[in-house]
Structure 1
Amino acid sequence: MQPVRRTSLIAQVTEQLRSEIRSSRWPIGSRIPTEPELTELTGTGRNTVREAVQALVHAGVLERRQGSGTYVIAASEVGGTLAKYFADAEERDVLELRQALDSTAAALAARRRDDADIANLRRLLEERNKERWNEQNVAAIEADVKLHRAIVVASHNAVYLEFYDSLLPTIEQVIRSRTKKSDDAFDAEHNELVQAVIDGDADRAAQAARCFLGTLIAEYPARDESQR
């Protein structure tokens, strides 16, 4: 038997880490285990783990944050590429795209949600409502993002979720930027959105998402259509 070449071992470990992300054991936005923990998980040395992680960083799946750790920012290389593209997008453009995505996802979720989705949405809404909304409260922003992602999960459309996940880092960035301007958490609107999904009312759910994000879009200066 030929000995396993180092490049093959790195590829194997890279795929092992990728499978943890695809399975959502390491969800978007989460911090992956430390290097020592990864060496134990994979049964390989630190250099192999380091290069496997770096490969996923280059692919746009992981992101190193100084003094904090390494985080999952996309579920696949395709998502990583999209995430890089969206990173420099205008805030209004992101919100307009999100309005289309969230309203459709809400309608699908209302039609397809199951008991597990309902329990998850109730739990995440409660967590979100407990948080005080301001730019310093990272937990509040994370709770908001998790709730909206859970609605997409409840749509039971894997392609939709993959695309939405690629947009999440940019969505979080836009939310953080907005909290500097306003501390309005739109709690009532989020309560209505989740209740409409739970009630199975697709039209109401889509309208709740559309109106909530339309309010945010309206905060930005109107575009001069004559410049198009």
Structure 2
Amino acid sequence: MPAPTLVQRTIGRIERRIESGEWAVGDRIPAEGQLVEDLGVGRNTVREAVRALCHTGLLEARRGDGTYVRAASDLNAALQRRLRRAELKHILQIRLAIEREAAPAAATHRGEADLARILTALLARRRAEESGDLVAYVERDVEFHRAVVAASGNPLMTELYESIVESVRDSIASLLPSWTPEPLGASSHDDLADAIARRDPEAAAEAAWAHTRTVETAVERMTDDQ
């Protein structure tokens, strides 16, 4: 097997920074000159490595703005490419399946930091809903579900969910016109957070299924309106 080229080694070093979290999804990576200095390679090597990672989907070059981390791993990038061709109903099936599995696991395995993140996201979601700020509402809703999945204690489940988070965000936004607010005191999100706080996996699973039914109703309503 031939030894890896300088470009391949540089690609590997950049990938490790992304996978370690040093450069998180959404971060802008250092400018070309800084990468040359940090990695100890020439400009052409850096350009080829960045170009290759943009092609795979790990990075995204934005004209006039720099290069950003688009995915946390090769799996993440591959899933994002596939999801761009997927139908909404199929994305929702995957999203809801992960959330249903994560809910009871989070109630069993969550730590105090996990619970704090869940409750903070829930409060921010409620404030955004009350203010009518739909952009903020979508972001806070996504953050709530990410926090629940992360609390499951299953790193593979968390990575898979993070891989589809952009599609999760899009699916939430697409359903808002067909969304009917839940009755006061009947919020599946509140029930889920409460069950996780009480370490009650059965109640958490029930709340997750209630949320699934609410989403499915919104999808049916949206389909009927089209």
Q: State TM-score, norm by structure 1.
A: 0.77
Residue 207 (structure 2) aligns with: 208
**Does the residue aligned with 2:5 lie in a helix, a strand or coil?**
helix
Q: How far, CA to CA, are the matches of 2:153 and 2:78 in structure 1?
A: 23
Q: Tell me the CA shift for residue 34 of structure 1.
A: 4.2
Tell me if structure 1 keeps the 8 A contact 2:195–2:204.
Answer: yes
Give the structure 2 partner of residue 164 of structure 1.
161
**Counterpart in 2 of 1:109?**
106
Equivalent position of 2:196 in the other structure: 197
Inter-partner Cα distance in structure 1 for 2:214 and 2:95: 13
Aligned counterparts of 1:143 and 1:10: Cα–Cα separation in 2: 39
* Structure 1 contact 39–49 (Cα < 8 Å) conserved: yes
When the two chains are superposed, the root-mean-square deviation of aligned CA atoms in Å is 3.0
SS at match of 1:221: helix
- Give 5+ residue unaligned stretches, structure 1: 223-228
Instruction: Judge conservation of contact 2:178–2:218 (CA < 8 Å) in 1.
Output: no
Using the size of structure 2 for normalisation, the TM-score is 0.78
Counterpart residue number, 2:224: none
- 1:16 and 1:218, CA in 2 relative to 1: closer, same or farther beyond 3 A? same
Q: Residue 24 of structure 2: SS of its match in structure 1? A: coil
Q: Which amino acid aligns with 1:58?
A: H
* Contact persistence 1:32–1:71 (CA under 8 A): yes
1:118 shift after superposition: 1.8
Q: Which amino acid aligns with 1:35?
A: A
In structure 2, distance between residues paired with 1:67 and 1:209:
43
Q: 2:29 aligns with which of 23, 26, 33?
A: 33
CA deviation map 1:102-157 (0-9, x unaligned): 0111111111111221222223333333334555x2x4333322221121111121
Identity among equivalent positions (%) equals: 34
Write the letter of the residue equivalent to 2:24.
Answer: P
Task: Check the 8 A contact 1:196/1:204 in 2, yes or no.
Answer: yes
Q: Which amino acid aligns with 2:102?
A: A
Q: Structure 2 unaligned runs (5+)?
A: 222-226
Structure 1 contact 102–210 (Cα < 8 Å) conserved: no
CA offset at residue 189 of structure 1?
Answer: 2.8
Cα pair distance change 1:126/1:9, threshold 3 Å: farther
